[in-house]
Amino acid sequence: MTFPADFIWGVATSSYQIEGAALEDGRGECIWTRFSHTPGKTKNGDHGDVACDHYRRYPEDIKLIRDLGFGAYRFSISWPRIIPLGTGRVNEMGLDFYDRMLDEVLNQGLQPYATLYHWDLPQALEDQGGWSNPAIVDWFAEYTEVVTRALGDRIKGWITLNEPWCSSMLGYLWGVHAPGVQDMTRAYRAAHHLLLAHGAAIPIIRRNAPGVPAGITLNLAPQIPHSDDPLDIQMATRGDGFMNRWFLDPIFKGEYPADLLAEEMIAAALADVDMTRLKEAAVPTDFLGINYYMRWIISSKLDGHDRFPAGSRFTEMDWEIYGRAMGEMLLRVHQEYGPKAIHITENGAAFPDPDTTTDAILEDPLRVEFYKEYLRDGAQWALDQGVPLKGYFAWSLMDNFEWGEGYEKRFGIVHVDYATQKRTPKRSAYYLGEVARTGVI
Ligand code: IFM
């Protein structure tokens, strides 16, 4: 099975999960610094103060990406490193860091894909309501202006937001992510402002980085009814609206899904929102980034693994492993929404890898099998169906701070020994590097 010669093969990371130096060189506090230092919020009280120390070790990390054989690197830019209080004064040391880092990426011959927002909101903005304050659309536009003016056309692909569903629903509805709020009104307002912020950022990117492809990244997860029981079907349709269509519809059609909007509680949450502006979210983009991890099986009667077919396999996150579902999601998005191009901007798995103290390759057969399946039954299958899939980024380059799960869950294709910061590629890193070089799974 061979991928097209111009297919983009990369690895992905995000600022707060790997950089460390959380309050160094003028970086402002972000919601994850505050949240993770609040007792009981993350596993073992883990935080991103040091993380993978990528802030200092970036040359080594970027060289490794190249040496392994990848052609592209997706990273995110930390808003509070650039504008510590979210608006106003720009921290030149923050911009310098990304400038140096980008030089390194380009010197290694890698294509840089940059995400403007991957969850590290300046705490000073959260203190004013964060994503639930309508003013954030202008705050995000100001930040986008500063970053894209500085780094603009050296980037190969600009991504406005990473997974706005997580920012709004995990952060403001369920409260399991920073800022840890549980408030339906704030959650739906946050989602609305994230969509508008995306709409505001795209024209700024176009102006400051003419000709550079720009898009957004959504985490999409099929919602499959467990049976043909009408209740299962109804719950799955509702789940699809909540998880997928709530963001896809505004971005591609400029409207919210009518079935969810008709729900009394959602309508009430959006009562004070200026709906006429939603059209702004449907600004034309060059690609859609999809972060794909799992499908959900929806049942009105069953819980946990009982909902899944006998023999189902799961990652350490308890996420089901089933590559074809990624292919089917890609096909559905292509058919129903027609983005010009699609990139898998994240796909990967946490497994309990054996720790290593040697220089030998760390064997991670489960992860290798995971990638083989998703590339074969997901990416390659979708290409065969005519989906304009242009790139695939593995999550993640290296083990890192997995948000509420702390450092316990390891998604890296490169192992990180957090005590010494030693990086050791796992077998999956060599496997994917070989795929990147040859295009053969
Ligand atoms: O680690 C996260 C990443 O930050 C966003 N997408 C999902 C990954 C795994 O949970």
Give a yes or no: residue 29 inside a domain.
yes
Give a yes or no: residue 409 inside a domain.
yes
Give a yes or no: residue 2 inside a domain.
no
From first to last of its 441 residues, the chain has per-residue pLDDT tens of: 689 999 999 999 999 999 999 999 999 999 999 999 999 999 999 999 999 999 999 999 999 999 999 999 999 999 999 999 999 999 999 999 999 999 999 999 999 999 999 999 999 999 999 999 999 999 999 999 999 999 998 999 999 999 999 999 999 999 999 999 999 999 999 999 999 999 999 999 999 999 999 999 999 999 999 999 999 999 999 999 999 999 999 999 999 999 999 999 999 999 999 999 999 999 999 999 999 999 999 999 999 999 999 999 999 999 999 999 999 999 999 999 999 999 999 999 999 977 666 667 799 999 999 999 999 999 999 999 999 999 999 999 999 999 999 999 999 999 999 999 999 999 999 999 999 999 999
- Say whether 163 is catalytic: yes
Whether this prediction's pTM lies above 0.75 is answered by yes
Give a yes or no: residue 86 inside a domain.
yes
Q: Which atom of ligand 1 is nearest to the CA of 395?
A: 8
- Say whether 363 is catalytic: no
Give a yes or no: residue 1 inside a domain.
no
Q: Which atom of ligand 1 is nearest to the CA of 291?
A: 6
Give a yes or no: residue 149 inside a domain.
yes
We report the CATH number of the domain holding residue 52 as: 3.20.20.80
> Who's near 135: CB < 8 A, 6+ residues apart?
128, 129
Report the DSSP pairing between strands 320-321 and 313-314.
Answer: antiparallel
Domain encompassing residue 153 = 8-438
Give nearest CA residue, ligand 1 atom 9.
Answer: 402
Give a yes or no: residue 3 inside a domain.
no
CA 145 to each of CA 87, 261, 315, 423: distance values in angstroms, whole numbers, following the listed order? 11, 33, 39, 35
The residue to mutate among 396, 398, 407, having the most atoms of ligand 1 within 8 angstroms of its beta carbon, is: 396
pLDDT of residue 339: 99
Give a yes or no: residue 324 inside a domain.
yes
Question: What angle in degrees, to the nearest 10, is found between the helix axes of 184-208 and 136-151?
Answer: 30
Question: What angle in degrees, to the nearest 10, is found between the helix axes of 246-253 and 323-337?
Answer: 30
Task: Count structural domains, the chain.
Answer: 1
